[in-house]
Structure 1
């Protein structure tokens, strides 16, 4: 099966982003067990070592926790998940506003565009 990865971003980072997105959207819920490293590696079409790195990074971010003999689970710490959402929102808005400024759009143009988009 596999996932189509972007060529300009490390695969492990794309997998982290995918799992974080699933958590923020509620596709993965607090306390839910993640697939094993091998299962997820096969599903994604990547090496098990890559998937192990993904799980290690998520655990270091305190987004998941490993329970000995049971596997990896999404954190049940709702504050951690909310902080993740807030951080991601700030990153996206910052990147967006930097791009807007680089192209010389005015605040009014962007506000109107967002209003128009919201009316669709």
Structure 2
């Protein structure tokens, strides 16, 4: 498995996490409630955690490349669903999105994808001799 796509993916997620973190701290602070800002910050936090996990994956060379690829996919879609849904939930006061009720169940799906990513990494490492 080539590490270039993983590094590129992690770089984009890291870049957007910094931008979204700064936007939350400076642009949203006066626009949304403190609770909504906490939700936003949690999205940024988990995006960073899993960006670092992707970078870690890019440096591994194991005999289980399929499991590492799965971990990459799970982490990437976990970021999109978990953090993305938190960003949308946090800004619904100013965006007035009408599908807020749908976002609630999306966040745990993203969390489940994070768990599957960590599990895939665990099994890749445990099967590596």
Q: Which has the higher strand share?
A: 1
| Higher radius of gyration, 1 or 2 | 1
**TM-score for both structures, normalised by structure 2:** 0.30
**TM-score for both structures, normalised by structure 1:** 0.32
Q: Which has the higher helix share?
A: 2
Q: Using CA pairs below 8 Å that are at least 6 residues apart, which structure has the higher relative contact order? A: 2
